[in-house]
Amino acid sequence: MMADILSVMTPPQVEAVKKAVKRRAVKKALVKKAIKRRIVKKALVKRAVKKAAVKKAVKRRIVKKALVKRAVRKAAVKKAVKRRAVKKAVVKRAVRKAAVKKAVKRRAVKKAVVKRAVRKAAAKRAAKA
């Protein structure tokens, strides 16, 4: 059909039509290329966004892990401090108990010495009389 129309035209018109067809084809190719470029750019942006999201998720996971680790360490320290305090209290109680025991014994010894002295004095008085 195109050949029929071209055969009717003069050579300069044929050239002009061919040029126009060629120009249209080039323009179409350029548009196609631009669309492809836009699609590629969009895909790259999408990939970059996905990569950023993954990076953020990984970072969040690392931070969470660090927080858990810190909490565990804090709990361990707290437990150790409590254990130390309990141990100190037990030692203090034992020392206090020993001191009380010693005081009671001292008092008992003193009482016994006084009793013995009184008995001795009574025996001396009885021997004199």
Q: Where are the domains of the chain?
A: 8-100
To which H or E segment does residue 110 belong? helix 11-128
Planar angle of CA 70, 52, 49, nearest 5 degrees: 155
Query: pLDDT (tens digit, 9 = 90+) per residue, 25-36?
Result: 999 999 999 999
Query: pLDDT (tens digit, 9 = 90+) per residue, 76-113?
Result: 999 999 999 999 999 999 999 999 999 999 999 999 99
Rounded to whole angstroms, the Cα distance separating 94 from 82 reads 18
Three-state SS string over 17-49 comes to HHHHHHHHHHHHHHHHHHHHHHHHHHHHHHHHH
Percent of the chain with pLDDT over 70: 98
Contact 53, 45 (CB under 8 A): no
